[in-house]
Amino acid sequence: MDAGNHGELDWVLVLAPYRKDAAYIEMLLVEHGMVVRACADTDDLVRKLPESPGVIIATHESLNPPTIEAIANHLTTQPNWSDLPIFVLLDRSAQQSRIRAELDRRWPRSRQLFIQRPVASLELVSGIQSALLVRLRQREVRDSIERERELRLELNHRVKNILASVTSIFRMTRRGADTIDALTADFEGRLGALASVHSAVFEAGGDAVALRGIVNLTLEPYRADGTNRFYVEGPDLMLTREAGTTLALCLHELVTNALKYGALSTAEGQIRVIWKVSASEQPMLRLEWVEMGGITVTAPTRVGYGTRYIRSALTAVFGEKPIVTFEPGGMRCVVSGPLSKVSQRD
C-alpha cells in the first residue's frame, strides 16, 4: 500500500529507529491493509505529527527526552474529541513502572497501551485495527460537531435576517398606513408573502427556490374565487433565497396595488407575469408585470411605500432599476439584469 495515500487519523506512525523493529512492524501492518509511515528520528517525527496519525507505535528505547517532548507538544494541540492511542513496545528487562509513570506525567491527554516484546503478531494487528476504527469514529464525532456548529451559525444568521426583514417591513408599513386596521392588514399580508417564500425554500430542501413557485405562491390567494385572472409564463429557473424573498415581497406589493387601484379592482381585469432569458454570452433575465382590462389608471401624484420598495428592492437584486409606468390600460413594471445575479448556480 502506498504510504503516501493516507488521510487524517487513518494511518499509523511508527517510531522504532533501532534494529529492524520498524521494518517488521511496517511489513506486518501493511499485510493487513494498513498505511504505515516510519520515523527515522525525532526531527522526522516532528515533521510527520502535524499530518495527524491515527495511532503511534513507539519502542521504549526510542522515547528519549526530545521525542517525549515532541509527542507531548502534539498532544497539547489535540481537540477534546481526539483521544490519541500510543502503543509502547517494552522489553522484558525495561523498567516498566518507571516508564509508565513518566509517560503518564508527560502525556496526560493520551491513551497509552503497553505491549511486551517479543510481540505477538495477532495481538498487535488486532490492537492497531481496533484503535484505528475508534479514531475514525472520533473523526465522525468531530465532523458531526462541526456540522452542528455550522447549522447553529446558519440558523442564527437566518433568524437575524428574518427579524431584520420583519422590522423593516413593519416600519415601512407603518409609515404608509392611515389607520390601525390598514396597518394590520398590510403588515399581515407582507408577512404572509415573506412566510411563503421561506416555505418554498424549505420545501425545496436548500438555498434555492423556483421562480415559478414564488410567483404561484404569491398569487394563489387571489385565485380563490375559482377564476384565474393571472397569466404566468416563463422558463424554469432556480433563484437564490435572497432573490426569491425579495421577488415575493415585490410581487405582493404589486398585487396589493392591483387590488386597491389597478386591474384586480374590477371583475374584468387581468395580470400577465412573464419572464424571459436572453440567449447571449451573458444571459439576461427580463421580468414583466403587466395589468390590463381594469380601470383606466393615471400616474399617482405621490409615490407610495409600495412603489418605492419595489424600485429599491428590484434594483438591489437585479443591479438595474425597474421601469414602472402607469399606462391607461394598467400599471406595468419591467425589470432586467444579469441572470447570474439572481439565479442559483449548480
Residue 260 has pLDDT above 50, yes or no: yes
Provide φ and ψ at 326, rounded to 5°.
Answer: -115, 90
* Residue 161: predicted pLDDT: 56
Provide φ and ψ at 114, rounded to 5°.
Answer: -105, 130
Domain identity same for 223 and 130: no
* Residue 175: predicted pLDDT: 64
Domain count, the chain: 2
Cell of 70: 515532541
Domain identity same for 100 and 220: no
* Residue 223: predicted pLDDT: 66
Q: What mean pLDDT value characterizes the chain? A: 83
* Residue 43: predicted pLDDT: 92
Domain identity same for 188 and 248: yes
Domain identity same for 23 and 97: yes
* Residue 5: predicted pLDDT: 52
**Residue 114 is which amino acid?**
F
50 in a structural domain: yes
Cell of 26: 511496517
Residue 310 has pLDDT above 80, yes or no: yes
Average pLDDT over residues 183-200: 74
* Residue 250: predicted pLDDT: 85
pLDDT digits (tens, 9 = 90+) for 7-63: 678 899 999 988 888 888 999 999 999 999 999 889 999 999 999 999 999 998 899
CATH of the domain at 82: 3.40.50.2300
Q: Residue 322 in contact with residue 335, Cβ under 8 Å?
A: yes
CATH of the domain at 287: 3.30.565.10
pLDDT digits (tens, 9 = 90+) for 131-149: 999 988 988 888 888 888 8
Of residues 250 and 260, more confidently modeled: 250
| Dist. CA 278–CA 205, nearest whole Å | 28
Domain identity same for 130 and 188: no
* Residue 34: predicted pLDDT: 92
Domain identity same for 327 and 206: yes
Lowest mean pLDDT among 99-113, 169-183, 259-273: 169-183
Q: Which of 53-62, 88-97, 197-206 has the highest mean pLDDT?
A: 53-62
* Residue 312: predicted pLDDT: 87
* Cβ neighbours, 10 Å, residue 300: 11
Domain identity same for 314 and 198: yes
CA 73 vs CA 57, 70, 77, 216, 329: distances in Å: 17, 5, 7, 61, 78
Of residues 252 and 342, more confidently modeled: 342
% residues pLDDT > 70 (the chain): 85
Domain termination residue (choose one: 143, 175, 196): 143
CA 47 vs CA 76, 82, 83, 316: distances in Å: 16, 20, 20, 51
3-state secondary structure of 109: coil
In the structure, what pLDDT confidence band is assigned to residue 168 with cuts at 50, 70 and 90? Answer: low
Strand partners of residue 336: 286
Average pLDDT over residues 259-278: 86
* Residue 2: predicted pLDDT: 45
β-pairing, 55-59 with 85-90? parallel
Domain identity same for 193 and 307: yes
261 in a structural domain: yes
Residue 14's Cα: distance from chain center in Å?
A: 38
Domain identity same for 212 and 299: yes
pTM of the model: 0.49
Domain identity same for 107 and 197: no
Domain termination residue (choose one: 143, 168, 200): 143
In the structure, what pLDDT confidence band is assigned to residue 197 with cuts at 50, 70 and 90? Answer: low
Residue 114 domain boundaries: 11-143
278 in a structural domain: yes
Strand partners of residue 114: 88
Domain identity same for 131 and 210: no
4 in a structural domain: no
On the 0-12 / 13-18 / 19+ scale of CB atoms within 10 A, 326 is: middle
Residue 1 has pLDDT above 50, yes or no: no
153 in a structural domain: no
| Dist. CA 25–CA 18, nearest whole Å | 12
In the structure, what pLDDT confidence band is assigned to residue 193 with cuts at 50, 70 and 90? Answer: low
Domain identity same for 48 and 131: yes
**325 sits in which H/E element:** strand 323-327
| Dist. CA 187–CA 253, nearest whole Å | 11
* Residue 53: predicted pLDDT: 92
* Residue 169: predicted pLDDT: 64
